[in-house]
A and B are shown apart, each in its own frame.
Chain A
Amino acid sequence: MTTRAEFLGRIRAEMAKTPGLFPASVTPRPAEPHAVAETIRRELAERWPEILERFRKEFERVGGVFHRAPSLADVPQVVAAISREREARRLVAWDPRELGADLGPALAARGLEPHAMPAGAVADAAERARLRRLVAEAELGLTGVDLAIAETGTLVIRSGAGRPRSTSLLPPYHVAVFDRTVLVESLSQAGVFLEAWHAGGEPADRGAIVSFITGPSRTADIELTLTRGVHGPKEVHAIFVEKTIRG
């Protein structure tokens, strides 16, 4: 088997033979990504309605369904309407702390069968298997959002404690709740936030996955016919909450 030293040694030996095709440099990165991210947030805070409108347009263009609610407390009503039309009942959701509130009782009162995911890892294998079955059989998955990119209509979601990867993946209907604080204009602005998330130490509560979700799962692999929901959700709903979720 080839070792790291041999492998990199071979690369260095080949590199030594050429200066390259032309002088080239990588993209300059923000020196203080946290500060730049803060500046972006402050700047966008003043004109968020315009960014939100662009997000809505792009999100709908990729097949997403956009909703508005005055506050997080009004979200169960919107979710109930979505589920009624689709005869869906079983719902899995992020841990209430990650979502911003415990919507379980209100959802149950509207005839849904909500299941909150645990706040952390689960040591017991049988319990993990039960939770997986629960998610696999659920019709709706309710999550938060870490970034909403207007340029592409993309929801960016980080996995972690209380925010399992499968909530936005296995159920056929994904419902994501967000507010103005997560809006960014462009992919390059999203890049600043990604730099900031990774700068300086590893946040203990965040998982190994960052998912960019741009509309429902799709394929055109059979005769180029666009078909939705091949592996992931066949519908993605984004509920914009006017009153910011974390006060």
Chain B
Amino acid sequence: MKDAFLQEALTIATNKFIGLRREAFDDFPEGEKLRDRAREIKEATLQHLDRYLDELIDNVERLGGTVHFAATAEEARAIVLDIAQRTGARMAVKSKSMATEEIHLNEALERAGVTPVETDLGEYIIQLAHERPSHIIAPAIHKTKAQVADLFAKELGRQVVADPEVLTKIARAELRDKFLQADLGITGANFAVADTGTVVLVTNEGNGRMVTSLPRVHVAVMGVEKVVPSMTDLMVFLAILAKSATGQKLSVYTTLVRGPRRAGELEGPDEFHLVLLDNGRIGQLAGPLREALYCLRCGACLNVCPVYRQIGGHAYGYTYPGPIGILLTAMAHGPGSVKDLAHASSLCGACVDACPVRIDIPRMLIELRREVDEQKIAPWAERVAFKALAAVMTRPRLYRWSAAVARLLQRPFARDGAIRSLPLAPGNWTRTRDLPAVAPRTFQERWKELERES
């Protein structure tokens, strides 16, 4: 929040995305019906998830691909590392994938001596800066062109002009070489079609096509919830995904990949691997966060969220930012990981309106808050304090009495209507913030006075 540029960049970017999304749906009268359809497909798929995954696995294997099963992030990393080592890969080119961010794959690859290269321009920039994405679809939204030019200059050891056109051209040349050299291509999956064994990648830059066609091995890492039954269902999602994300009718490239290179093909990988990732998803099939499994990762809820728009993606502290990010973080790391984040929402509901599949994010945030409370994740003192507050607030006489006592007790600390520091344990709370002082008269007292006067 300190960073004025971040604040301005966020406002400009999120407003732009909101406008583009609105225009796209205004032009598309059938959009609302398709959103309902898409939501229903997601629910129907989850109700028979075992069957659709079974079908997907059979089809991928029939096409000559290999399917792997990862219960945890650690297991997923081990699977990819094993493939990299077995195939003697030295460099891996990656197209943008939140699933591989979620499992922290890059660090693991580096430790194993495989150089991971992010090829989405935004991801490439933040990889050079050793940062994490700040927005699901615009990962480097927080960087100025001057900062990007500095990063490129450092990487290339020469002067670079701070012009997006020039910078993009440089990235094209740098990454083109890497595409042609890399042994391993790593992607996520926007969807996987059970009926045909197809993994679907959506990109604007074309890196998804490069990564799936040039290296000799392709590994796709996907959350189990990404499976859709048929091509007919896939079309419903394609019709709303890009409109929700960037306001495009369709992203530039939608790439449908079915296994490794086929007989007769000049290009394409010898090996195709699909890693099915659980990492907390399966446990939510009957859990309070089930509906978050509908998420398409379009980023629309980030753009409209008043909290995200203020604080940006990094402040959330985990892979997935924004309102949906809180739920996905809880899914992967348990409710304890979001004991504070669960409150980083005003529950205004803007996210529900923006979500292409109408995920009821506020409902689940409230659910999470309750769970955090029930599991006694908050410190003992905090829980007692809130219990006491609840008791006081629901008893008018006790409330009036407490206000009077508090007014007395705060005298040594209150100045100009605020308490700037407190002694002992509560002092931690006031180290970076002020506590408003108890007013000289409570609302009830003032109300009574007013009634007497009139």
Contacts and interface: CB of A to CB of B under 8 A. Distances in A.
Interface of A: 1-4, 6-8, 10-12, 14-15, 17-22, 24-30, 58, 62, 117-118, 120-122, 128, 131-132, 136, 151-154, 159-162, 164-166, 169, 187-188, 190-192, 194-195, 198, 204-225, 227, 229-233
Contact of A217 (B49, B205, B272, B286): B205
B43 A20 contact: yes
Given A166-B267, A219-B168, A212 B250 contact: yes
B205 A136 contact: no
B196 A225 contact: no
B196 A220 contact: no
Nearest to A58: B249
B222 interface: no
Nearest to B259: A208
A187 B235 contact: yes
B69 interface: yes
Contact of B264 (A187, A205, A212, A232): A205
Contacts of B206: 169, 217, 230-233
B40 A224 contact: no
> In this complex, which of A8, A204, A216, A231 has the most chain B Cβ atoms within 10 angstroms of its Cβ?
A231
A132 B268 CA distance: 12
Contact of B164 (A4, A190, A225, A229): A225
B171 interface: yes
Given A1-B79, A29-B230, A121 B168 contact: no
A192 B251 CA distance: 20
Contact of B12 (A21, A136, A205, A224): A224
Contacts of B120: 221
B275 to A, nearest CB: 11
B226 to A, nearest CB: 14
B265 to A, nearest CB: 4
Contacts of A154: 250
B255 A211 contact: yes
A75 to B, nearest CB: 23
A24 B232 contact: no
B449 interface: no
Contacts of A215: 252
A8 B276 CA distance: 11
Contacts of B250: 152, 154, 187, 212, 214
Contact of A121 (B45, B239, B252, B266): B266
A14 B71 CA distance: 14
B322 interface: no
Contacts of A151: 249
Interface residues of B, number: 103
B47 A15 contact: yes
A57 to B, nearest CB: 12
A226 to B, nearest CB: 9
Contact of B69 (A1, A118, A169, A187): A1
A220 B231 contact: no
A117 to B, nearest CB: 7
Given A169-B209, A205-B264, A225-B145, 12 more contacts: A117-B266, A132-B180, A194-B256, A208-B260, A209-B256, A211-B209, A219-B168, A224-B13, A227-B165, A229-B168, A231-B172, A231-B176
A18 B290 contact: yes
A198 B205 CA distance: 27
Interface stretch (B136-144, B388-396, B426-434): B136-144
Contact of B257 (A2, A164, A209, A222): A209
Contacts of A162: 264
Given A24-B44, A27-B236, A217-B252, A11 B49 contact: yes
Given A15-B286, A151-B249, A223 B44 contact: no
B213 interface: yes
Nearest to A1: B75
Interface string B11-33: 01100100000000000000000
Given A213-B253, A219-B121, A14 B283 contact: yes
